[in-house]
Amino acid sequence: MLMRAVIAATLAAALVGLVAGSPVTSAAVRNAGVTFTNVVASTPFTGGGYPVPPGSRVPVAGTCGAGPFNANQSESWIAVKPGTEDLVGSSKFFFDKYSTFYMFYLGSYRILNGAPLDDNQVQGYDCVSTGTQEMPPSWTDTTDPNADFDTQGRVYQTMLPFNSFFDATKLHPDGEIDVSYSDDNGRHWVKGNGGVALEPTNNASAKQAGHVEDKQWIAVNHIPGHPYQDHVYAAWAVFNGSSAGQGIKVRLAVSRDRGQTFDKAVTISPPSQVGPADTFVYPSIDAAGALYVAFVSFPPQGSASTIYVARSADDGVSFSPFVPVTIVNIITTATGGLPNTRFRDGIAESFVASPTYPGHLYLTYEDWDGTQMDVKFTQSTDGGLTWLTPVVVNDNADTATLPTDQFQPTVAAGPAGAVAVAFYDRRKA
């Protein structure tokens, strides 16, 4: 797939127009394509994992050991250390030399001054780094990468460890939510909250539909001198049923001592406002230090979903009423994924707050029209109270016989109003 970026200058100009009262147009977004040079950031390394025995499709408890991470990576994320050109990346690394089975762990990349240096497994969730076969603290998988820095160079990641026993196993710890942090740009990781999970382990089957943690994210207040400087906000979803309008709640936990401890997690998605099934949560901090969260609400029977945004001005203690931003049409699992592909679709939206302009928020999302997907963009300049009519970001002209897809967008906001949207594009697949 071609990862195409729509960047900076035109979107920044559109933001200036917004301040003056003029709307962003599709043309303003469109003509901003730039060319990037791809650089390989990963190299094979050795870590802990579970080999899949011959003739089996699932791991066997007690067989974890050192082995190669020399296969595929997926679901990547990247964070910038404030005031530097140093980056920490994170992605899923498949264990062993194959990517056939559901065996992967999160790993991190050190990219110093823009140059890839090395990569490694996030420690604390496998038998090698924990020194035990006990499950937990050893898990068969960790997943869903995310990362953010504080002002002192510590990088944080909300972790989802789980056990991939999708067979006849009846009872075992299914998963939990943790936060890990690193003080050396991702080379070594330590579990936060004193090693205690933010969403506790439950002794249940991986096949169950109740209390399944997923779709976690993190944001850190890295505004020097702000009362909430270096406070860490971890958010995730807990599934009690499927995503087709059944019970899914968004949870939030806050650390005010740089990840050493976290307050008890609370549910922040009120069903009376946003419905009973909410996930794909993104927390973000604006230039004034306000915490925003965005997520998607899934109605019953898989009809069109709604993206909501809310604001907290008191360090995540309370939130304003959730504002519906836009309707998003999500491809259903009944189709088996995107047509003419062999992969599933991912998270519908991406959300970020401006680090320069208080109350300026940016949202991009994929929208399925029944035959193909487009990437759309909208923004707010009043703290999420009102939003512009969404515009299409991708500039392709589909034909009736040859539709293409643009999907899985990500939005980033830089200083002085710079905004970038990146997405996957099938035109050069």
Q: What is the pLDDT of residue 96?
A: 86
Give the CA distances from residue 233 to residues 216, 256, 291, in Å, rounded to whole numbers and listed in that order. 11, 9, 9
User: Distance between alpha carbon 36 and the CA centroid of its chain, in Å?
Assistant: 23
Q: What is the pLDDT of residue 301?
A: 65
The band of 200, judged by pLDDT with boundaries at 50, 70 and 90, is confident
Per-residue pLDDT averaged across 10-37, rounded?
A: 46
* Domains: count for the chain: 1
Question: CA 252 to CA 268: how far, in whole Å?
Answer: 7
Q: What is the pLDDT of residue 5?
A: 38
Q: Please name every residue paired with 351 in a beta bridge, in sequence order, or none if there are none.
A: 363
Percent of the chain topping pLDDT 90: 59
Q: What is the pLDDT of residue 171?
A: 47
Q: What is the pLDDT of residue 32?
A: 53
Name the range with the highest mean pLDDT among 168-177, 194-203, 237-246, 336-345: 194-203
Name the range with the highest mean pLDDT among 26-40, 196-210, 284-298: 284-298
Q: Is the pLDDT of residue 246 over 80?
A: no
At 213-225, the pLDDT tens digits run: 889 999 999 999 9
CB count, 10 Å around CB of 160? 23
Residue 223 tokens, joined: 């505004």
Report angle CA 180, 182, 187 to the nearest 5 degrees. 115
Say which residues have a Cβ less than 8 Å from residue 190's Cβ, sequence separation at least 6: 123, 124, 180, 181, 182
- Asked if 366 and 347 count as a contact pair (C-beta separation under 8 A), the reply is no
At 41-90, the pLDDT tens digits run: 999 999 999 887 787 777 788 889 999 999 999 899 999 999 999 999 99
CB count, 10 Å around CB of 339? 11
Question: Could you tell me which of 128, 144, 127 has the C-alpha nearest to residue 136?
Answer: 127
Q: Is the pLDDT of residue 26 over 60?
A: no
Question: CA 286 to CA 369: how far, in whole Å?
Answer: 32
Question: CA 364 to CA 369: how far, in whole Å?
Answer: 16
Give the CA distances from residue 356 to residues 93, 230, 413, 421, in Å, rounded to whole numbers and listed in that order. 34, 17, 9, 17
Say which residues have a Cβ less than 8 Å from residue 54's Cβ, sequence separation at least 6: none
Q: Is the pLDDT of residue 303 over 90?
A: no
Q: What is the pLDDT of residue 178?
A: 97
At 178-192, the pLDDT tens digits run: 999 999 999 999 999
Per-residue pLDDT averaged across 324-338, rounded?
A: 80
Q: Which amino acid is at 89?
A: G
Q: Which domain holds residue 139?
A: 2-428
CB count, 10 Å around CB of 57? 12
Question: CA 85 to CA 323: how far, in whole Å?
Answer: 36
The band of 208, judged by pLDDT with boundaries at 50, 70 and 90, is low
Look over the chain and give the mean of its residue pLDDT values, rounded to a whole number: 85
Q: Is the pLDDT of residue 130 over 90?
A: yes
Can you tell me which residue has the tokens 């789980």? 162
Question: CA 390 to CA 392: how far, in whole Å?
Answer: 7
Q: What is the pLDDT of residue 421?
A: 95
Query: pTM (2 decimals)?
Result: 0.90
Please report, for the domain that includes residue 175, its CATH number: 2.120.10.10
